[in-house]
Structure 1
Amino acid sequence: MKYLLLVCLTFASSLALAHGMSAEDQARILNAGYVEYLRLGATHMLSGYDHLLFLFGVMFFLTRFKDILVLITAFTIGHSITLVFATLAGITANYYLIDAVIALTVCYKAFDNLDGFKKYLQTRSPSLIWMVFIFGLIHGFGLSTRLQQLPLGNEGLVLKILSFNLGVELGQIVALSIVFVLLTIWRKTESFQKFSAAANVLLMFLGGLLLLMQLHGYQHSQYPDDFPLNADDHSHIHEDMAKSESPLSGYKKPLNLGAEPDASETHTPEMHTHDGEDYHSH
């Protein structure tokens, strides 16, 4: 049973990390131009399943293009503000916690779609435009924490951030177009009325699952020694994952033939064992 739980937690953590920027992207961006930042912003948005789930929830019951345009504009203004200014000011936070809050925005929108405020709280739903704007601020801060993981430097910093933000907008347009087409087709079928509630329950469940994933990742980043579950194996898994996700982990240093070898490169790996197995090293 403990091995099944270990696999589930490991899978959850890998999904939580998947929203980050890969080592290849981080290495490529070292000498990248503004077009590369634009591309990175677009691909990051399209791979941001938490952002996409939230936008899916926002658009779920919207049928008029005008309404969609107003809400998406509010969301865009919100995330552009925090993305640009938080990055310029160097304001950051633990990205697991930021992504946990983003997961809560997914749960909130699903709860709102289910008319939860009226049914369970006996009150009207808060202004959707203002809530989408506020959530846009949160999502933008999440994007900023990811962007600040890159070696941005000082030269052309503003244009780099604006290029990344423009890429995010282009990625958002592509994602929204796909979601809009899919929802439009689905609304014309009988199953939409039958399963719209179930779809939002599923959306809330996925938001809750993302929340647990991010909190699990936060616990490991802050309290690595507090996990009794097969602690040795479990910690090795997360160490390997952290190395693969760390900035520039895939970036090869240029060979310096005249320099002395770095101590970290000549260090002999420490021998250890797992549950009585033979001693080995990684």
Structure 2
Amino acid sequence: MKSTFKGFLVFIFLLFSGTIFAHDVSSGDQEILNNGGLLSYVFVGAKHMLTGYDHLLFLAGVVFYLKRFKDIVKFITVFTIGHCITLTGASYLGITANEHLVDAVIALSVFYKGFENLGGFKKLKVKSPNLLLMVFLFGLIHGFGLATRLQSFAIGTEQFLLKILSFNLGVEVGQVLALIPIVFIITKWQKKNSYQAFYKAANTYLILIGLVLCAHQLYGYFHQH
């Protein structure tokens, strides 16, 4: 059991350390967008989601709570609708915000999901908010974070809306590709005797990682030039 927890912790550490820089906008991605058509926006959008450790950790936290496949589809759909609204809307209308602050709130969504999964609200004797509504609201925030990334690129004015929609499509493709192994591992593990211990350990890590990510983004905000 201890080796299982250690293995999962190593996995989370590698996910965090290996993607924390890949999640940022890169000159290589800008070059891809400059030399490609609309498909390049699909590619970069998918790449961004697949390296989006904060988005994936939140989604993993959501899946932990669910046991039926139709519930997983329902919650992920609501999350998707939320981030599509703000990704498309904020990008098209040019609504901006400091990316460090947006990512700090996204990090808190990871903390929130781990806290809720471990019955944090019950321990405080407080009724937890409606989960479906919270997933939608966090979807809006995550979408705003994606919009800040897209707005960091120079995409010009030609086919402006189509470029935004293509990037959005790529995000959805990346989300599906990322969710396949996450849902598979968690749903398979739910049938094992070790699941409850794994559930507790994994969600504890979500709380800790959410706090670390939030602190990291706040540090970046207060020390930006």
TM over 0.5: yes
Structure 1 regions of 5+ residues with no counterpart?
1-11, 223-282
Counting only pairs closer than 5 Å after superposition, residues 118-197 of structure 1 correspond to structure 2 as 118-120=122-124, 122-197=125-200
1:95 maps to amino acid: E
Aligned residue number for residue 107 of structure 2:
103
Paired residue total:
210
2:172 maps to amino acid: E
Question: How far apart are the structure 1 equivalents of 2:176 and 2:198?
Answer: 26
* Alpha-carbon distance change, 124 to 186 in structure 1, aligned in 2, over 3 angstroms: same
2:202 is the counterpart of 1:220: no
Q: SS at the partner of 1:164?
A: helix
Aligned residue number for residue 53 of structure 1:
57
Post-superposition offset of 1:185 = 2.1
Asked if the contact 1:13/1:216 (under 8 Å) is kept, the reply is no
2:20 is the counterpart of 1:21: no
40-49 vs 195-204, which moves further: 195-204
RMSD: 1.7
% of aligned pairs identical? Answer: 56
Asked if the contact 2:83/2:140 (under 8 Å) is kept, the reply is yes
Post-superposition offset of 1:18 = 3.5
Post-superposition offset of 1:176 = 1.1
When Rg is computed on C-alpha atoms for both structures, the one with the higher figure is 1
Post-superposition offset of 1:17 = 4.4
Post-superposition offset of 1:130 = 0.6
Give 1:66's match in structure 2, choosing from 65, 70, 75. 70
2:121 is the counterpart of 1:117: yes
Counting only pairs closer than 5 Å after superposition, residues 187-266 of structure 1 correspond to structure 2 as 187-222=190-225
Larger relative helix fraction: 2
1:56 maps to amino acid: A
List structure 1 segments (4+ residues) > 6 angstroms apart after TM superposition: 12-15
Question: How far apart are the structure 2 equivalents of 1:160 and 1:42?
Answer: 13
Question: How far apart are the structure 1 equivalents of 2:18 and 2:143?
Answer: 22
Asked if the contact 1:16/1:217 (under 8 Å) is kept, the reply is no
Question: How far apart are the structure 1 equivalents of 2:43 and 2:214?
Answer: 28
Structure 2 regions of 5+ residues with no counterpart?
1-15
Question: How far apart are the structure 1 equivalents of 2:79 and 2:200?
Answer: 24
